[in-house]
Amino acid sequence: MAIRFDSLPLSDRTLAALKECNFTHMTEIQARSIPRLLAGSDVLGASRTGTGKTLAFLVPALELLNRVQIKPRNGTVVLIISPTRELASQIHGVASKLMSAHSQTHMVITGGLNRKVEAVKLKAGVNLLVATPGRLLDHLRSTAGWIYHNLKYLVIDEADRLLDIGIQSDRLCSFLRLYQRRRALVKQLANLSLKDPTYIGVESIEQSTVQGLEQGYWVVPLEKRLLLLISSLYRSKKKKVMVFFSSCNSVKFHFELFCHIGLECLSIHGKQKQSTRTSAFTEFCAAENGLLLCTDVAARGLDIPAVDWIIQYDPPPDPKEYIHRVGRTARGEGARGRALLFLLPQELLFTSDLKRSRVPIKLWPSSKPLNIQTFLETQILKIQGMQRLAADAFKSYLRSYQAHTAAFDIHKLDLQALAASFCLKSIPPSCTSIHSNAAKHRKKRKGAGHAFSAEDPYGKRSKQG
């Protein structure tokens, strides 16, 4: 039976804010974490996506600010570090609603926003700060007058992702170690800054994804991938769909192509201006139906209402990222959603990786693709700049493929078929600029056949897409 928030020793202001936001009962991670955090314990928290971890660390943060009557002049007392701009903004949005009845100040700082404006506000006094790592380090180095020596409460959200991007090797670690009194809700940072943390894991023994999520995969020939994707998207125009790609360049190419052929869509990727990303995210959240093309920048923690379908057109690098992607649907108690993974015949080993990670995925029969390959190839010849976009997306796909698990062997890819999936009639000559160890691999496998053309498509490293 779910436990009510009002059964906890919370202030009237916090309880009123929770009620205003329609939060009356705690999820399991909240019920197990909040009392320990209120008591001053360090916590390592782990639970499936969509289970309410944000409230689990925000509610104790508000209580700390309220109990000791923090004023703006005291500076930053609560610091929440998030790996992406969208997630940081989302956390700050929830914090803003909960702090509506409190007098303390709050703010979000991320790349893409005006750093000078942020600096002025930090100097004036920000009690609860949500930040991305890069912008946080920027202000630590350059914003004189910002008071942060009173830090009492530290949250590192999506800690495994922060470790992936190198937080441990950065100067930020030195900053974290300065503080002896802190409470943190994280997953993999016990060796970084916590003292005898309590581990709270809320995970299903049977599966890693939520019960309301139906998951399947299609086995798709490489040259038919795009045709099947377009066919399925045309049939899903009344649904709310997210499609994941492996690179910014791939999102750019498919966005331009889809808009040209009548598939209205939005896009989010790491090379956009922050205002563009925020606008697309806000519009998609508010929409009843629609199509969002994105990279893994949209895979972590984002709470997007009522997503019907998650399509992983480009395979994720590993099961962990697969789980984060599908976590954008079937969020909340009783919610339902569907997730579809595109796999090539030689990639079927990845389904074994998923099942070992307790992902209940099944083979689904694929639909019949539209016969529009010639039409698409003709269109990208007509649209200015599209051939370049297609070639860049092709190269980025190969680069990302190299970083995947062993289930994805780049040397088994048919590059001519891959070119067709980007509406190209031939392999881009510029592929000779892509760095790879393909030549070394071929020497080790001398005499063994693979799908590469006679012309080596690899050479020097080029700038990543």
CATH classification of the domain holding 298: 3.40.50.300
What are the distances in angstroms from CA 307 to CA 287, 288, 297, 337?
A: 10, 9, 17, 7
- pLDDT computed for residue 172 by the predictor: 53
Report the alpha-carbon distance of residue 364 to residue 340 in Å, rounded.
Answer: 9
Using the 3D structure, point to which of 132, 167, 202 is the last residue of a domain.
Answer: 202
pLDDT, tens only, 164-184: 555 544 445 545 554 443 444
Would you say residue 454 lies in a domain? no
Express each pLDDT in 351-360 by its tens digit: 999 999 999 9
Distance of CA 252 to the CA centre of its chain: 18
Contacts of 332 (CB under 8 A, 6+ apart): 50
Assess whether pLDDT exceeds 60 at residue 68. Answer: yes
CA-nearest of 266, 258, 262 to 229 is 258
Q: Which of 161-170, 206-215, 239-248 has the highest mean pLDDT?
A: 239-248
Largest CA distance in the chain: 75
> Of 45, 50, 52, 51, nearest to 156 (Cα)?
45
Q: What is the mean pLDDT of the chain?
A: 84
- Of 397 and 47, the structure prediction assigns the larger pLDDT to 397
CB of 376 closer than 8 Å to CB of 369:
no
Window from 8-22, 42-56, 380-394 with minimum mean pLDDT? 42-56
CA distances, 333 to each of 28, 55, 328 (Å)? 11, 15, 14
Per the model's pLDDT, the better-predicted residue between 101 and 213 turns out to be 213
Q: For position 48, what pLDDT does the model report? A: 67
Q: Which residues of 245-255 are buried (b: 16+ CB within 10 A; e: fewer)?
A: bbbbbbbbbbb
Its domain, for residue 366, covers: 213-444
pLDDT category of residue 160 using cuts at 50, 70 and 90: low
The answer as to whether 464 is a domain residue is no
Whether the per-residue pLDDT at 189 is higher than 50: the answer is no
Is 449 among the domain residues? no
* One domain, residues 259 and 183: no
pLDDT at 280 over 70: yes
What is d(CA 411, CA 110) in angstroms, rounded to the nearest whole number? 39
325 in the same domain as 281:
yes
Q: Do 241 and 372 belong together in one domain?
A: yes
d(CA 235, CA 434): 36
Q: Greater confidence, 446 or 5? A: 5
Our count of domains for the chain comes to: 2
Task: Answer yes or no: is 461 within a domain.
Answer: no
Q: Is the pLDDT of residue 185 over 70?
A: no
Q: Are residues 153 and 10 in the same domain?
A: yes
In this structure, of 34-43, 87-96, 235-244, the range with the lowest mean pLDDT score is 34-43
Check pLDDT > 60 for residue 49: yes
Would residue 458 count as lying in a domain? no
What is the reported pLDDT for 40?
86
Q: Which residue has the higher pLDDT, 286 or 444?
A: 286
For residue 322, what pLDDT is reported?
95
Rounded Cα distance, 177 and 179, in Å: 5
Per-residue b or e along 87-101, where b marks 16 or more CB atoms closer than 10 Å to that residue's CB:
bbbbbbebbeebbeb
